[in-house]
Amino acid sequence: MKILLVEDDTLISAALAKLLTANQYEIDIAGDGQTGLDMAIAVEYDLILLDLQLPNLDGISLCKKLRLRDSYRQGLSQGYSKPILLLTAKNSNPDLVAGLDAGADDYVIKPYNSEALLARIRALFRRSGASDLDSSSSLTWGNLCLNLTAATVTFGKEIISLTATEYKLLELFLQNPNRIFTRSAILDRLWEFDDPPTERAINTHIKDLRKKLKGAGFTEDIIETIYGMGYRLKPYPKETPENSSTPATQIDKSKENKPKKDIKAVNRVLEKFRNSFHAQVSILAQANTAILGGYLDPELHQNAKHEAHKLAGSMGSFGYPEGSRLAREIEHLLINDRPLTPGEISRFSDLVKGLEQELTKTPVTARSAPVNTSKNYRVLVIDDDPILTEKLLAEAELYGVRIKVTPNLAAARSRLALATPDVVLLDLTFPDTEEDGLILLRELKDKFPQLPVIVFTGRDSLADRLAVSRLGARQFIHKPATTEQIFQAISRVLPQEKTSEARVLIVDDDPAAVVTLSGFLNPWGLQVITLTKPERFWEMLIINSPNLVVLDWEMPKVSGLDLCQVIRQDVQWGNLPILVVTAHTDAESLSQAFAAGADDFITKPVLGPELVTRVLSRIERMRWRSVPASLPENKFSVS
């Protein structure tokens, strides 16, 4: 299920993105109302989460535009019919009535409860006929069915007996059908960080799983080896003709390496982008008429230049390489903000006509990308202060963690017996018992020597600090402290190597280009964060801590080269790998990019294999540079 979140508060949007992706929803984010409208027109979303108070276009106005047919003259032939869920801090009847009358299906009051929000989303999917409950309760590949509720695997009517590890392996591949998993990525996903097997053990488990599937009736392996990279689930073959007797599990060798038919949904998305190209070209046609008439209004001049820039960056990626070239030339004619010569006016008219003709041609079909998921860290809080723990629970989503609270040491021991958290936050004093928190800290050291523990207490003697230090606690926080300080301490001790898939921040003012670049990178297990407002770059950088940044060269207000220089001047982020996407390939322009701080460049129109290769190689190189020779290898993985 694909969800669009329209929210200008970056902390809330980051927390919601983590919550939704952890529950296997695909999420796109728009930071203002107008961008949200553009993305909703361009992309086929199953649900929209919409804040009421938004810059540029408020939530109620956006809701009305989405529901009205005449608002889609520049995009779709009909209004948005899928569910809209309002997120609002306004708990007043007039605002809620206005939102519902504007076309919203339901609302959630901020601060929201995560479980309640997810329940509302599931309910809306059920009402719209797009329920994800059936798909989430079982995973299938032909006649193979993995029932998540019963934890059983069947082929036809026969049950396949699998070990717990084999079951988890099969579930991982079925949940990520197009994803290539390296051995280290499988280790990170399926094993606790304190007791992983060797990477060679993965080969054995894969071999055993294949053997049991073949024993159940499969004629060929459904898990294929991608040499030099890892493993993935083999695409399910096309259905055989009605009169064919070929079994459903028989793999057609001639079709093994062809893309799956689920690209149809993506192609529908791209078709909407192509429809929006007509609106952009019409602005260039208006500019052409004005130029031929002898006067180009400054506002129309800027609009035309902006649309030409977006077309140049995105048309090639959506199957119109010649259109990209024509738009780039138009942009160069408009870029100097001066009157055009008679020869340039003639050339401008020819270029606009050429663009109009390009849109009558059949574009190249694009490929799809699977949903990417992520996981929140688990924090066990052992503290009897209800006010503090409630505040921690309320803010946990904003920091990407899940919190369980136990008010005493006995309850903590019971919780630890059920599951091992990623971090423990431990108070030392409990009024209802004579038992000291240092006793539990000693037990944790013995049973879970790798488990990070943060001591949070009102005691502040040197003796306590020495005892805590000698028992292996990672941090000591003296009460009182703000929740921000507590979460900062948690972030410092989190076992980043456990689930640290690489994060890539893509910055491009063109929503079409953002979707294209994301689609190329998502199948490789990269956590892709997108931004269409470059002026918000710094806050997105701080919140998401990416491992690599992809920047478009030419953007309004703030260019990619401006952002390059800002990154390189910062002490913390100065070594962050930067790729610049540009149509400029002359030596002078490339020298300018490298001088600004770019590590590499990608030429437009962007080719998927080239982008993937350059991104993965840069991240891998940065990974090895960050591992000291005296330390064991970090489990950071690009899969």
Beta-sheet pairing, 138-141 with 144-147: antiparallel
Q: Is the pLDDT of residue 280 over 70?
A: yes
Cα 282 from Cα 404, distance rounded (Å) = 56
- At 106, phi and psi to the nearest 5? -165, 175
Q: Are 454 and 489 in contact (CB under 8 A)?
A: yes
Tokens linked to 44? 């086929």
Sign (positive/negative) of CA torsion 537, 513, 604, 308?
A: negative
Share of the chain above pLDDT 70, in %: 79
Tokens linked to 421? 């958290």
Average pLDDT over residues 268-293: 78
pLDDT at 115: 79
Express each pLDDT in 520-538 by its tens digit.
Answer: 887 777 888 888 888 889 9
pLDDT at 366: 41
Average pLDDT over residues 268-289: 75
Express each pLDDT in 303-361 by its tens digit.
Answer: 888 888 777 766 765 667 788 789 888 988 888 778 889 999 999 999 999 999 988 88
Q: Which helix (H) or strand (E) holds 42?
A: helix 33-42
Report for 136-140, 395-399, 439-443: range of highest mean pLDDT: 439-443
Q: Is the pLDDT of residue 67 over 70?
A: yes
Cα 556 from Cα 509, distance rounded (Å) = 8
Cα 185 from Cα 173, distance rounded (Å) = 12
Say how many Å lie between the first and final Cα of the chain, rounded. Answer: 23
Cα 332 from Cα 440, distance rounded (Å) = 69
Q: Within 13 Å and on the Cβ side, how many CA atoms surround 260?
A: 15
Burial profile 274-313: b = 16 or more Cβ within 10 angstroms, e = fewer: bbbbeebbebbebbbeebeeeebeeebeebbbbbbbbbbb
Planar angle of CA 218, 224, 229, nearest 5 degrees: 165
Q: Are 397 and 110 in contact (CB under 8 A)?
A: no
Cα 29 from Cα 13, distance rounded (Å) = 7
Share of the chain above pLDDT 90, in %: 12
Tokens linked to 169? 């392996």
Report for 254-263, 391-400, 564-573: range of highest mean pLDDT: 564-573
Q: Is the pLDDT of residue 263 over 60?
A: no
pLDDT band at 401, cuts 50/70/90?
A: confident
Poorest-pLDDT segment among 329-333, 590-594, 623-627: 623-627
Sorted by where each starts, the structural domains of the chain and their CATH numbers stand as: 2-133 (3.40.50.2300), 143-235 (1.10.10.10), 263-358 (1.20.120), 377-493 (3.40.50.2300), 503-626 (3.40.50.2300)
pLDDT band at 195, cuts 50/70/90?
A: low
Q: Are 454 and 490 in contact (CB under 8 A)?
A: yes
Q: Which amino acid is at 195?
A: D
The percent helix, strand, coil of the chain (3-state, each to 5) is: 50, 15, 35
pLDDT at 269: 45
pLDDT at 499: 33
pLDDT at 191: 66
Poorest-pLDDT segment among 16-20, 521-525, 620-624, 626-630: 626-630
Average pLDDT over residues 395-418: 82
Greater pLDDT, 473 or 188: 473
pLDDT at 358: 87
Express each pLDDT in 103-154 by its tens digit.
Answer: 888 888 877 778 788 888 888 887 766 544 344 467 888 888 888 766 788 8
Q: Within 13 Å and on the Cβ side, how many CA atoms surround 304?
A: 27
Per-residue DSSP letter, 501: B
Q: Are 122 and 131 in contact (CB under 8 A)?
A: yes
Cα 129 from Cα 123, distance rounded (Å) = 10
Cα 15 from Cα 198, distance rounded (Å) = 34
Q: Which helix (H) or strand (E) holds 463?
A: helix 462-470
Cis peptide bond upstream of 342, omega within 30: no
Average pLDDT over residues 43-53: 86
Q: Is the pLDDT of residue 90 over 80?
A: no
Cα 317 from Cα 607, distance rounded (Å) = 8
SS3 319: coil
Q: Are 541 and 573 in contact (CB under 8 A)?
A: yes
Cα 123 from Cα 618, distance rounded (Å) = 43
- For tokens 């136990």, name the residue: 406
Q: Are 341 and 322 in contact (CB under 8 A)?
A: no
SS3 65: helix
Q: Which residues pair with 433 in a beta bridge?
A: none
